Amino acid sequence: MVRFLRAIIFSLGLLTIAADAANAQQNAMYSQYVFNTLAYNPAYAGSRNVFSATALYRNQWSGIKGAPTTATLTADAPFKGDKIGLGIQLINDELGVTKTTGAALSGAYRITMQNDAKLSFGLQGSISKFAANFTSLDLGSGGNDPIYQQDINKVLYNFGSGIYYSTERLYIGVSVLDMLNNRLGEDASEARQSGHAYVATGYVFPLSEDFNLKTAVLLKGVKGAPVQADLNLTLWIKDILAIGGEYRTSADISGSMEVRVTPQVRLGYAYDRSTTSLKSFNTGSHEFMIRYVFSFDQSNALSPRYF
């Protein structure tokens, strides 16, 4: 426990340093973040003790031209007797005339603690291509801003770190991604990548033999933007069907559903509705998820993981 507390303090220090060193820019967000943890914490790699892959597609703010769309595929697995976890994420994120395509490799070292709790330390290295087709914009008469007179195509390298503590029903994670303050253009005054800090926790409350209530909180911070919290409640029925609701501060309310089709296959869907003035200009956001477990033992099949 002492090691765990020291790790938390150390990682919180990293969060502060990274957030203070960066300018504002939001990474892709997900309503079904509880099924896509590897996307924001490399220490999650291998934590399910199986080789699994998760694909997710998000169409945000339907009805608004140029609104964000995100497609991501993550996969991870344990190695070396579950002491090592390795993972990969592929992502394609589009917003207006900008597009980011990239990949991230994650590695985690896992320590077994009392009562089979696990404490993981993770590192991530990423490569991405950022493209901005500024010359395609119609700036109207007199639109001669030099920023929009040339397109941008840059390859960016970055890294992140995190810790992840979990038991059968509890998890706590702290992470920082995009710690390098890369320039997105050639001019030093132009926009830069921003360090993003995440704190996540969740607990599963057993209500009865057939019902479990899963709670989850995700805090997201980056300099230049307000801290945002995603608050989630999900009711699991017979470990087969999950129905949930979520509130994203100053942004959205969401409803979600997940079905455990087989011990290997899970399907999920989430619908968001804006709570800001944007609600007058879009018909909501849609998010689809599928997870496939390539290998599992009998214990995992009988007692499915909640995160």
Residue 301 lies in a domain: no
Residue 257 lies in a domain: yes
Q: Is 228 helix (H, G, I), strand (E, B) or coil?
A: strand
Report the pLDDT value the prediction gives residue 229, as an integer from 0 to 100.
95
Cβ contact 87:106 at 8 Å: yes
Tell me the one-letter amino acid at 5. Answer: L
Cβ contact 18:188 at 8 Å: no
Residue 22 lies in a domain: no
Q: What is the bridge-based pairing of β-strands 225-237 and 69-79?
A: unpaired
DSSP 40-71: T-GGGTTTTSSEEEEEEEEE-STTSTT--EEE
Domain count, the chain: 1
Residue 303 lies in a domain: no
Report the pLDDT value the prediction gives residue 284, as an integer from 0 to 100.
94
Residue 195 lies in a domain: yes
Q: How many other C-beta atoms can be found within 10 angstroms of the C-beta atom of residue 50?
A: 18
Q: What is the pTM of this model?
A: 0.86
Domain holding 216, by residue range, is: 29-293
- The 3-class secondary structure across 26-39, one letter per residue, is CCCCCCCHHHCHHH
Residue 204 lies in a domain: yes
| 292 class by beta-carbon count within 10 Å (0-12 exposed, 13-18 middle, 19+ buried) | middle
Averaged pLDDT, groups of 10, the chain, 307 residues long: 42 37 58 91 93 95 93 94 94 94 97 91 96 80 66 93 95 95 71 90 96 96 88 95 95 95 93 93 96 70 63
Report the pLDDT value the prediction gives residue 150, as an integer from 0 to 100.
80
The percent of the chain in helix, strand and coil, each rounded to the nearest 5, is: 15, 50, 35
Q: Alpha-carbon distance 270 to 288, whole Å?
A: 7
Residue 138 lies in a domain: yes
Q: Alpha-carbon distance 178 to 155, whole Å?
A: 14
Q: What separation in angstroms does the CA of 224 have from each of 19, 20, 21, 27, 40?
A: 9, 9, 11, 13, 19
CATH of the domain at 154: 2.40.160.60
Report the pLDDT value the prediction gives residue 64, as an integer from 0 to 100.
92
Residue 173 lies in a domain: yes
Q: Alpha-carbon distance 28 to 90, whole Å?
A: 13
CA 6 to chain centre: 24
